[in-house]
Amino acid sequence: MIKVIVLRAAGSNCDVETKYAFDKVGAHADLIHINRLLSGDVKLADYQILAIPGGFTYGDDVSAGKILANQIKFQLAEALQAFHNSGKLVLGICNGFQVLVKAGLLPQVDLARDQDVTLTFNDSGKFEDRWVFLKVNESPCVFTKECKKIVYFPVAHAEGKFVPRNLQVLQQLKDNNQMVFQYTTENGHAPVYPHNPNGSVENIAGICDPSGRVLGLMPHPERHIDPTNHPQWTRLGLADEGDGVSIFRNAVHFFK
């Protein structure tokens, strides 16, 4: 049985949905509070997948995901480096994506490195809560090995605008095929607001590390698991499954 640790902290609010998604595809997911890792009561090494779900950890009081990122960066760095070095997977969704970039797990796993990318305030100046289309690019990402070309996920964030430190960082993402998800239209055309809900540079909605085993994305695949999650299922008819299922299934199948 593939074991998943869904990491919780004060303010996490998509942890149950994330556990449901992993359990549905045959994994066993545990909801674990960060304090249990910090105390040593739970060992990260006992799991194959680490998932950091969406929400508003610690109220996003300093900046989105920063406090949890600092706990990881300064108190769990050795355990996380060993986790990655052993070939395991990390997934960060929305607030979890913000945590990964601020902790030093994306765009590459280097917890001692200065931050190369960030997720900042939406260009609209408001919280964006809507469904978006995403283009799934060719990449080394484990989570998208068998995935549709365009998927439909909801977003719910105020700080989702992806910005690289400079053009060199952006070029590295392109050269390494790390731009896993980009906002698009239903027909795959270049998006403008609201199809790009936050103004992300190059319409980037999610990236992986060069190994493809660490993925962060702002939209919520765990909120499109059952076909009835689709906002127009009564008009369009029920699909076999929600678009988000493949993200979690690919992660589990990686170990099988």
Residue appearing with tokens 């299934």: 249
pLDDT given at position 256: 81
Task: Name the amino acid, one letter, at 97.
Answer: F
Domain that holds residue 247: 3-255
Distance CA 70, CA 213 (A): 21
Residues designated catalytic: 94, 220, 222
Predicted model pTM: 0.97
| Nearest one of 85, 89, 37, 93 to 64, comparing CA atoms | 93
How many domains does one find in the chain?
Answer: 1
pLDDT given at position 113: 87
Ranges of residues in the chain with a pLDDT under 70 are none
CATH code assigned at 166: 3.40.50.880
Instruction: Kindly state the greatest CA–CA separation across the chain.
Output: 50
pLDDT digits (tens, 9 = 90+) for 164-194: 999 999 999 999 999 999 999 999 999 999 9
| Nearest-5° Cα angle at 32, 29 to 38 | 140
Residue 142, token pair as written in the block: 């484990």
pLDDT given at position 47: 98
